[in-house]
């Protein structure tokens, strides 16, 4: 059984890195983000290390690292290169990993491939990060449909932001998918806070 978790999102900036850091802290996992754009503003690996207090040896370096904060396919194009998913393989870790994607499930990484193809290559169960506010139902259901059409295991949805019970019920009903956790607005982000959020707002049985 694959005990890794692949964290994807409904779109960019939804909170994938926050969710990844929470899982790293709460489950005591190592972190890996194969494709990183926007490195000129700092990497998500650095952010996860800062928020969780883990050392670099608890993470794995990016396979592709680009400075511009744009889609992976465009960042690679601007650099005069291309992302070859065949070069991306799971690091040789006996411990389960938290793997963070870039952007949403259908963000292009090349001329004919998407983030979904990387998810399919790694075959890890998927957690979908979504916003809790207006617009999330459409974005979440479309992402759920894409993940299932790719024959990937969708472990559940995590809603990020101010609690919205109506949106949560709609996602669970129309998507036939469990909302396995939620992350409220956090004034402080550190390991202790992340572990507390997991204990209070997540279904821990999903992660055993």
- The predicted-structure confidence for 126-184, as pLDDT tens digits, reads as follows 999 999 999 999 999 999 999 999 999 999 999 999 999 999 999 999 999 999 999 99
Assess whether 33 carries a catalytic annotation.
yes
What b-and-e string marks burial along 12-46, b requiring 16 or more CB atoms within 10 Å of the CB? eebbbbbbbbbbbbbbebbbbbbbbbbbeeebbbe
What b-and-e string marks burial along 95-109, b requiring 16 or more CB atoms within 10 Å of the CB? ebbbbbbbbbbebbb
What b-and-e string marks burial along 162-185, b requiring 16 or more CB atoms within 10 Å of the CB? eebeebbeebeeebebebbbbbee
**Active-site residue (options: 33, 79, 162, 199):** 33
Give me the pLDDT at residue 208, please: 84
Please say if the pLDDT value at position 204 is more than 90. Answer: yes
Tens of pLDDT, residue by residue over 102-117, are: 999 999 999 999 999 9
Give me the pLDDT at residue 6, please: 98
pLDDT band at 2 (very low <50, low <70, confident <90, very high): confident
Helix (H) or strand (E) holding 101: strand 97-104
CATH architecture of 5-207: 3-Layer(aba) Sandwich (3.40)
Give me the pLDDT at residue 10, please: 96
What is the overall mean pLDDT for the chain? 96
The model's pTM is 0.97
Tens of pLDDT, residue by residue over 60-119, are: 999 999 999 999 999 999 999 999 999 999 999 899 999 999 999 999 999 999 999 999
> What distance in Å separates the CA atoms of residue 181 and residue 183, rounded to the nearest whole number?
7
């Amino acid at each position: 059984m694959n005990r890794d978790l692949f964290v994807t999102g409904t779109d960019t900036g939804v909170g994938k890195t926050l969710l990844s850091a929470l899982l790293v802290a709460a489950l005591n996992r190592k972190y890996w983000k194969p494709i990183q754009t926007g490195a000129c503003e700092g990497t998500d690996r650095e952010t996860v290390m800062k928020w969780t207090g883990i050392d670099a040896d608890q993470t794995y370096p990016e396979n592709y690292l680009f400075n511009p904060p744009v889609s992976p396919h465009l960042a690679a194009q601007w650099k005069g290169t291309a992302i070859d998913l065949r070069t991306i393989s799971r690091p040789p870790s006996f411990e389960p990993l938290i793997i963070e994607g870039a952007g949403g499930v259908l963000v292009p990484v090349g001329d004919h491939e998407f983030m979904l193809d990387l998810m399919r290559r790694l075959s890890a169960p998927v957690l979908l990060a979504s916003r809790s506010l207006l617009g999330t139902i459409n974005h979440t259901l479309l992402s759920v449909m894409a993940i299932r059409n790719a024959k990937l295991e969708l472990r559940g949805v995590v809603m990020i932001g101010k609690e919205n019970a109506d949106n949560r019920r709609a996602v669970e009903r129309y998507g036939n998918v469990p909302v396995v956790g939620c992350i409220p607005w956090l004034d402080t982000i550190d390991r202790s806070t992340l572990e507390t959020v997991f204990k209070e707002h997540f279904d821990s049985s999903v992660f055993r």
